[in-house]
Structure 1
Amino acid sequence: MIAAIRQFFDNQLASPEQETSEHKVERLRLASAALMFELLKTDRHIDDRETRMLRQVLARTFAMDEQQLDDVIKLAEEEAAQAVSLYEFTSLMNETYDYEDKVLLVENLWRLALADDHLDKYEEQMIRKTADLLYVSHSDFIKTKLRVRDEQG
């Protein structure tokens, strides 16, 4: 999946030789979107509510237009059967994202995991591992989980 995502980024954005810091941030946001889809497939069942939440989170958080949403989701769906190294995503994020961006990503992962009103143990495990790789404190990991749970009532 990593190779396909990189190819998508290269097709959508400047090549690494021409990359500006703005383009790098956009590439990282697209990597975040793919990571979010990986969370959706963790419990082996992608619910329509989860897919709608994914589109809402991406549109709101990353200001992605409909075409970008369709492209990223299609790419992630096509590559869903392949293994993903969370480290490859999170290492890119650690280079550029500030702490608040990392916390927001963890919060959005909770939104996706709770969208179907069921928190699978593997979803929670993936969010915990992602938070650890992003160096998000355990306190913020818990706070984001509780905030999203309370929002969804």
Structure 2
Amino acid sequence: MIDFFKRFFSTAAENGGTPAGRDNDQDVIVAIAALFLEMGRIDETFTQQEMARVLSILTDRYGLSGEDADALLEEADRELKESVDLWQFAKVINTRYSIADKEKLLERLWQIVYVDGKMDQYEHYLMNKVSKLLGLSHKQLIDAKLKVLHSE
């Protein structure tokens, strides 16, 4: 598992996912994956399209192999089941990611939301909640949304 995280962080910098710090790297990537899973599941149906998008983001944007992405999602799922809320994940991201990195994270979350071409009320709620937990403004949230909508 340590090799997995070393590989992740050696390729993350090349793909726009550079964390601001290097301490507790495992916590950061697990927190990101937990947010991806939560977004996919928020409407109580985690479709194959949504899972494919999550895996695509992890492999394409973060440079993970399919096997590493699966292992990461298993760990993130365990962490989600043990968590009370999303604050613990946002706290880890907030201490290690820059504003620009958090904006990129919002874009990736929007990609999961819009994989089916629409946003439901639960996804809307969670996107607003996550942006607030990450200390980002409503403008940053909307800018990230528009960037994703205009690129697809």
Short-chain TM bin: 0.7 to 0.9
Greater than 3 Å deviation, 4+ residue runs: 9-14, 74-84
| Structure-2 change in CA distance of 1:53 and 1:68 (3 Å) | same
What is the CA distance between 1:151 and its match in structure 2? Answer: 1.9
After the TM superposition, which residues 1-150 of structure 1 pair with which residues of structure 2 at under 5 Å, given as runs? 21-22=21-22, 24-76=24-76, 84-150=84-150
CA RMSD after TM alignment: 2.6
Secondary structure of the residue aligned to 1:70 is: helix
- Cα distance per residue 1:79-129 (max 9 Å; x no partner): 766665111001111111000111011111100011022211111111111
Shift of 1:75: 4.0
Q: 1:47–1:116: 8 Å Cα contact kept in structure 2?
A: no
State how many pairs are aligned: 138
Paired letter, 2:31: A
Structure 2, unpaired ranges of 5+? 7-20
- Cα 1:80–1:137 shift into 2, 3 Å: closer
Cα 1:116–1:65, aligned 2, differ >3 Å: closer, same or farther? same
Q: CA deviation at 1:25?
A: 3.5
Deviation at 1:24, TM superposition (A): 2.5
Deviation at 1:58, TM superposition (A): 1.2
Counterpart secondary structure, 1:64: coil
Q: TM-score if structure 1 supplies the norm length?
A: 0.77
Percent identity of equivalent pairs: 25
Instruction: Tell me how far apart the structure 2 counterparts of residues 79 and 26 of structure 1 sit (CA, whole Å).
Output: 12
Name the CA distance, whole Å, in 1 between partners of 2:52 and 2:102.
22
Q: SS of the counterpart of 2:22? A: helix
Quick one: distance in 2 between partners of 1:94 and 1:83? 17
